[in-house]
Structure 1
Amino acid sequence: MRRKGDTVLFDRPPRAAAWAAVGGKKESEGPLADAFDLLLTDASCGEKSWEKAESDFARYTLEAALKKGGLSAAELDGVFAGDLEFQCTASAYAMRGFDVPYLGLYGACSTMAEGVGLAACMVEGGAMRRAAAMASSHFCAAERQFRTPLMYGGKRTPTAQWTVTGAGALVLDAAPGGPRVQAVTFGRVRDYNVTDINNMGAAMAPAACETILNYLADTGRTPEDFDAVYTGDLGLVGSRLLAQLLEREGVRLPNHQDCGLLVYSVDSQNVQAGGSGAGCSAAVLCCHVLPLLAEGQLRRVLFLSTGALMSQTTFLQGESIPGIAHLLELSSGEEGQ
């Protein structure tokens, strides 16, 4: 394991041993519906609150990943997990059902890449034999916490994004074969004084731009070295801003795709600028990106999860919205890469 700038390069890249994604009703109507391991059309999961339902989504996705990998929870040395709820309660409450060391994270929608990066560092460094990363979100819980309760019936702006009801979980180990985590670039908090809580794409795009530029400078690579560059959930607005910001630095992303625009059909699903939420990039990574790497349809990609780090309190206090983006370099694990 070596560090260059903000990037950690793995000498023995950890393997993606198993993964799973769970989605809700909106996700079952989207372009990636057939790729999810489990779709739950009841957003409440039979629970009395949206928050309890999100814990169920998180629990189901970790259980599914373990089952697919032929693993038990006892074989995990740690789980890095987070969500959008106060004090990451969806993840913490989900982990009540697993007797495993739990490392709670809050990176907002950047949590999945952060968790995978940290888990990879622990596995490659020998501190953990097997570690999992997980992130979840729930549309109803997020709207109640960050904006307005659903019964209020507020009008959504064109720049707003639809929080994914779903989760993704990934188990890493040091065994041979399978997709690999080649490197991770941990992002820095950047604040460009965006104050519109209904325009997360604008708040996160500058952080995504900087993390990409830092990775390219640290490694000497170019975007053309990759089959695709995935961003977490910039949506329509943030994706356009990212392209503009990178072009100012002389960098083009002809192979860019955004998870918030993959999980939903913007033209037909009434999701405004696309998907968002900690579960957005987590689910797309586990139901779309990793399977393509495992099948050899993709050989090497960059994957960023992007997050807006405000809280309900800071928003009401008139604070601006800081952004963060963490980047993973992923490969299919084929020889000669």
Structure 2
Amino acid sequence: MKSKRIGNRTVKLENKPTIISASSVVGPKEGEGPLREYFDIILEDDLCGQKSWELAESDMVKTAMKKTCEKANKKLEDINYMIGGDLLNQIFPASFAARDLSIPFIGIYGACSTMAEGMCISSMLIDGGFADLILSGTSSHFCAAERQFRFPLEFGNQKPMTAQWTVTGAGSVLISPKGQGPKVTHVTIGKVIDKGIDDGNNMGAAMAPAAVDTIYSYFNDTKDDPNSFDVIATGDLGKLGKEITEELLAQRGLDISKVYMDCGIEMFNMEKQDVHCGGSGCGCSATVFCGYIYKKLKNKEFNKVMLVSTGALLSPTSTLQKQTIPCVAHAVIIENKE
């Protein structure tokens, strides 16, 4: 069998799976940001009429998944697999959504790298001929994440300026072996990188080395030109993490500065919305990709994009045990190709 691998870490998808639709749901704060016009649904109530923040997040997942199917004129029963996860214990927002949607479910956990991770797995399954339609997506909720990883909102604790704001949002894509839309051409699976950062309020610094490792690996494997991309987007490194990433890549002789953006910076108005270093969470890269980036690809304003969702693989247990923060980043290359 002919190998589809290029170099050490990258896979070239010969059948070029197509992202035939995408949708995004965001909370009120996110809807006040600069990308407002690109989101499909902006919630007025971030509880979504539910009894808890966690159930509200699950409701956002269901809404995004259903909207994605509707856009492609597909029914839920047409979908072969739903692939997803989130930040919460036992990925229960995604699991509860899968229960209600009644789609065969592959639950994954990559923290904030989950959007790109799910797209990598979905695209390889489609490229291998193992499915015809796969829904892939993820979510996060500011209030739910604060309660699990930091402190309940009622505590009113202050955060250092290196901290970020977890995005309330959900995004999903529908991937098919055929149809109209941008194609997934390559994926690069990330390694878990831990440089010894143990500050849960400095995720950008913790995750940046993982993003650097994956981005450099893609270009080392493929010999591609960074400036052939319209956008190279990291998931949620924020202002500090983005600066570290650019610097570390430059030290390796790779300059991506002309095409580089971070979803956590693009999500909010950094000067007016008081999010410190920017946005974070699974829903950050999910909604920026499924809203802003995907629509730019569909309209041929972008023709080649690399999405590098970044994730910090800590848990409340590991934090209490004074462990450092292992991180991972996965890359998906999407192009407008016939």
Task: Work out whether the TM-score is over 0.5.
Answer: yes
Q: 1:168 aligns with which of 171, 180, 184?
A: 171
CA-CA distance at 1:33 after TM superposition: 1.1
Aligned partners of 2:63, 2:35: CA distance in 1, in Å? 18
**Contact 1:146–1:311 at 8 Å: present in 2 too?**
yes
Residue of structure 2 equivalent to 1:307: 311
Matched, 1:318 2:290: no
Aligned partners of 1:9, 1:285: CA distance in 2, in Å? 21
Matched, 1:129 2:159: no
SS in 2 for 1:191: coil
**Contact 2:40–2:291 at 8 Å: present in 1 too?**
yes
What residue identity is the alignment partner of 1:2? K
What residue identity is the alignment partner of 1:118? I
What residue identity is the alignment partner of 1:217? N
Aligned partners of 2:37, 2:304: CA distance in 1, in Å? 23
Per-residue Cα deviation, 1:148-177 (whole angstroms, up to 9, x for no partner) = 110000001101010000000000001143
Matched, 1:86 2:89: yes
Residue of structure 2 equivalent to 1:3: 5
Matched, 1:288 2:292: yes
Matched, 1:261 2:265: yes
Alignment of 1:6-155 (within 5 A): 6-155=9-158
CA-CA distance at 1:272 after TM superposition: 0.5
SS in 2 for 1:214: helix
Coordinate RMSD, CA, aligned: 0.9
Aligned partners of 2:292, 2:37: CA distance in 1, in Å? 10
Aligned partners of 2:336, 2:234: CA distance in 1, in Å? 18
**Contact 1:309–1:324 at 8 Å: present in 2 too?**
yes
Aligned partners of 1:28, 1:177: CA distance in 2, in Å? 28
Aligned partners of 1:22, 1:53: CA distance in 2, in Å? 12
CA-CA distance at 1:302 after TM superposition: 1.0
Equivalent residues, number: 334
Aligned partners of 1:134, 1:301: CA distance in 2, in Å? 18
Per-residue Cα deviation, 1:168-208 (whole angstroms, up to 9, x for no partner) = 00000011431010110000000000000001101100000
**Contact 1:32–1:262 at 8 Å: present in 2 too?**
yes
What residue identity is the alignment partner of 2:335? S
What residue identity is the alignment partner of 1:3? R
Aligned partners of 1:10, 1:95: CA distance in 2, in Å? 27
Residue of structure 2 equivalent to 1:275: 279
SS in 1 for 2:214: helix
**Contact 2:237–2:264 at 8 Å: present in 1 too?**
yes
CA-CA distance at 1:228 after TM superposition: 1.2
SS in 1 for 2:241: helix
Q: Percent identity?
A: 42
**Contact 1:116–1:132 at 8 Å: present in 2 too?**
no
Aligned partners of 1:331, 1:285: CA distance in 2, in Å? 13
**Contact 1:191–1:321 at 8 Å: present in 2 too?**
yes
Runs of 4+ in 1 over 4 A off after TM superposition: none
Structure 1-normalised TM-score?
A: 0.98
CA-CA distance at 1:270 after TM superposition: 0.5
SS in 1 for 2:63: helix
Matched, 1:187 2:163: no
Residue of structure 2 equivalent to 1:327: 331
What residue identity is the alignment partner of 1:119? S
SS in 2 for 1:177: coil
Matched, 1:197 2:204: no
Gaps of 5+ in 2: none
**Contact 2:231–2:304 at 8 Å: present in 1 too?**
yes
**Contact 2:22–2:173 at 8 Å: present in 1 too?**
yes
**Contact 1:28–1:41 at 8 Å: present in 2 too?**
no
Aligned partners of 1:95, 1:177: CA distance in 2, in Å? 26
